[in-house]
Amino acid sequence: MGLLSLGTPLHWNEAKGYADHVRKHGIEQFLHIYNYQKDRQTQQLLWGDEIEYIVVKFNDEEKTTKLSLRAFDILEKLEKPEHDWLVGIEKEPPAALWRPEYGRYMIEGTPGLPYGATFRDLVGVEDNMKLRRKMAHAAMDPDEHAVSLVNYPRLGCPNQLYPDHEPNGPACQSMFVPDQIINPHARFPTLTANIRRRRGSKVQINMPIFHDVNTPKPFIDPTIPWDRDLFKHDKEAKEGAALPDHIYMDAMAFGMGCCCLQITFQACNIDEGRRLYDQLAPVAPLMMALSANSPIYRGYLADVDARWNVISASVDDRTPEERGLKPLKDSKYVINKSRYDSIDSYLSNDSTYKSKYDDIDLVYDQDIYQKLRDSGVDDKLAKHVAHLFIRDPLVIFKELLNVDDSQSSDHFENLQSTNWQTMRFKPPPPNSSIGWRVEFRSMEVQISDFENAAYSVFIVLLTRVILSFGLNFYIPISKVDANMQTAHKRDAVLNEKFYFRKNVFTSRTPTGNAQPNPESVQDEDAYELMTLNEIVNGKENGFPGFVPLIHSYLNSTNIDIETRCKLSSYLSLISKRASGELMTGAAYLRQFVQNHPAYKKDSVVSDEITYDLVKRADQIAKGEYHPKELLGDFNA
Ligand code: ADP
Ligand code: MG
Ligand code: MG
Ligand code: MG
Ligand code: MG
């Protein structure tokens, strides 16, 4: 979750008075980093993945599962090798780093050190992921397991937690989950409560329910305590927050409690980072659809396969004015999106960039923009930062209000790390040897490490192909947004089409050249709706496809046969997911529920089904069960 500082977090009523202070110093801190690091060159690619897990407790006699809220006890053990290394007791760096996440039932693991740029490094990823899973198990009670499902199917249903608690906490005020589900570090309950306070109501999450033959229509959820009268916000559900035919959720945990697979790359310099940011932005929705793995929420089958909109709504702190529901009076802007959403603007000054691609009316702080421009920051980067800074800092620690802006990036990170977008442009931390990085954030975590490695390696190879072939994936950014919504749809891989650029080999002409004729420009920038199969595997007389492009890149390199075979198996998984030959995790989980003998065709994912499903996911991850429809013949 980025920055974790200690101190006394301020209630929203007090925090909002310091918002401008944090923004002002955040910009000073950004400028300090920018001025010192803008010319920085790093030679080699470094990159790393982040995998989040849920901790599940199995009772194999009763055939029940519970979400274990013991992540902090577990993390203490997992983080020890890192601490020992940092203080010099241990000479070798740890094999993995472990971090807390939003949910008290979540852990996040990354490689101990970032991976390098060799093909051997790529082959080591899966082993490291498997090792992490073993380490996690070793730090847990024997009946606990680290499961890489995006979410726990019955999160928010009664009796799902260990230890159990009633849903009556003041921070989230949820009718479904208790505050004990939140990471106990002061930052997280405060973030939760301040989002609600700033917004003026509880967060409101509605995902369409999957209507099966016995699902009532309209579906009015009988499990919502419609008449609860514990908090003033309780009446919201029946006053319209809970939509019919939807799975209603009312707390940040439903979203921020979801597990993602994220990849961070270090670029050679700031310009390459900005270019990768732009080129990967249109890829983000495509990869979400290809990695879709979350068809169940709060005990019901949903009519979507992916999590993004749940998380987006789960942290939507916009005031009614910002959401455009009331005329602007106290708020400064109408804001089109939640803080957790797809990016609104491109970032590169690359010669293939054209301003027409930025067809979303960007909301940004004019004063901050001007300040950045006056300090020598170019238009696009200034707009990017001024856009992040339209948000208020949600958690402010009293003790950390005044810091040395040349030494700290706390205030910058306060805004930066709570703009949770599909892409994140990460400046170097102050006084570090780390370079400019880009994070790819849209993918859903996969059940097995073979899959997680395949998706990670695929993205790394794609970045190499983009850079060495000079590919151009630009389409209007509003079309990227449209793709993001399409990507949620049930079986989007099989049934939907996505906007994608027709000609990705556009020449990179230096600006100032003679104008080509307008018709060929028109043509050159054309995009069309394509299936994921066409985008990944190629289209006859059209786009060659990601996987064939990666193969031709690999053909041009010196790579041993064993490594090539491993990489080919990863590419083949992605290719077969895109063609429909193999199922996505979401399709597999949905089918698992629908084929379960206890399923009543009423969309309900019961305790019994949940036990079998989570157990199955764990068995798949450990190689004890091999579903061919999900993994094919690959050795997972
Ligand atoms: P966050 O949660 O803020 O996204 P994390 O520290 O959890 O960040 O994960 C960052 C990822 O970036 C890890 O996989 C890590 O290995 C990787 N990483 C660390 N240093 C570098 C670097 N210099 N360049 C690229 N990736 C890095
Ligand atoms: Mg995380
Ligand atoms: Mg992280
Ligand atoms: Mg993070
Ligand atoms: Mg991350």
Q: How confident is the model over 102-119, as pLDDT tens digits?
A: 999 999 999 999 999 899
Per-residue pLDDT, 522: 64
User: What is the distance between the alpha carbons of residues 481 and 466, in angstroms, rounded to a whole number?
Assistant: 21
User: What is the distance between the alpha carbons of residues 110 and 76, in angstroms, rounded to a whole number?
Assistant: 16
Mean pLDDT, all residues of the chain? 95
Kind and range of the H or E run holding 106 = strand 106-111
Over range 553-578, report the average pLDDT.
96
CB atoms near residue 521 (< 10 Å) = 13
For residue range 391-423, what is the model confidence (pLDDT) as tens digits? 999 999 999 999 999 999 999 999 999 999 999
CA of 51 to the centre of ligand 5 (A): 9
| ipTM of the complex model | 0.97
Is pLDDT above 90 for 627?
yes
Nearest ligand 1 atom, CA 424: 4
User: What is the distance between the alpha carbons of residues 98 and 78, in angstroms, rounded to a whole number?
Assistant: 6
For residue range 326-360, what is the model confidence (pLDDT) as tens digits? 999 999 999 999 999 999 999 999 999 999 999 99
From the CB of 115, is ligand 1 less than 6 Å away? no
Is pLDDT above 60 for 270?
yes
Nearest ligand 1 atom, CA 265: 25
Per-residue pLDDT, 520: 57
From the CB of 393, is ligand 1 less than 6 Å away? no
Q: What are the residues whose beta carbons fall under 8 Å from the beta carbon of 495, sequence distance 6 or more?
A: 489
The model's confidence at residue 512, banded by pLDDT at 50, 70 and 90, is very low
From the CB of 111, is ligand 1 less than 6 Å away? yes
Q: What are the residues whose beta carbons fall under 8 Å from the beta carbon of 67, sequence distance 6 or more?
A: 54, 55, 56, 57, 105, 152, 155, 160, 161, 162, 181
Over range 136-165, report the average pLDDT.
98
pTM listed for this prediction? 0.97
Is pLDDT above 90 for 48?
yes
CB atoms near residue 388 (< 10 Å) = 25
Per-residue pLDDT, 2: 38
Per-residue pLDDT, 509: 52
Kind and range of the H or E run holding 56 = strand 47-59
Backbone angles phi, psi at 308, to 5 degrees: -50, -50
Over range 89-96, report the average pLDDT.
95
In this structure, the residue with its CA closest to atom 26 of ligand 1 is 47
Per-residue pLDDT, 515: 52
Is pLDDT above 90 for 43?
no
From the CB of 439, is ligand 1 less than 6 Å away? yes
Over range 162-167, report the average pLDDT.
97
From the CB of 421, is ligand 1 less than 6 Å away? no
Q: Which of 99, 262, 264 to mutate to test the pocket of ligand 1 (most atoms within 8 A of CB)?
A: 264
For residue range 527-542, what is the model confidence (pLDDT) as tens digits? 999 999 999 999 998 9
Over range 190-199, report the average pLDDT.
97
The model's confidence at residue 45, banded by pLDDT at 50, 70 and 90, is confident
Is pLDDT above 50 for 377?
yes
The model's confidence at residue 635, banded by pLDDT at 50, 70 and 90, is confident
Per-residue pLDDT, 513: 46
- The percentage of residues in the chain with a pLDDT greater than 70, rounded to a whole number, is 97
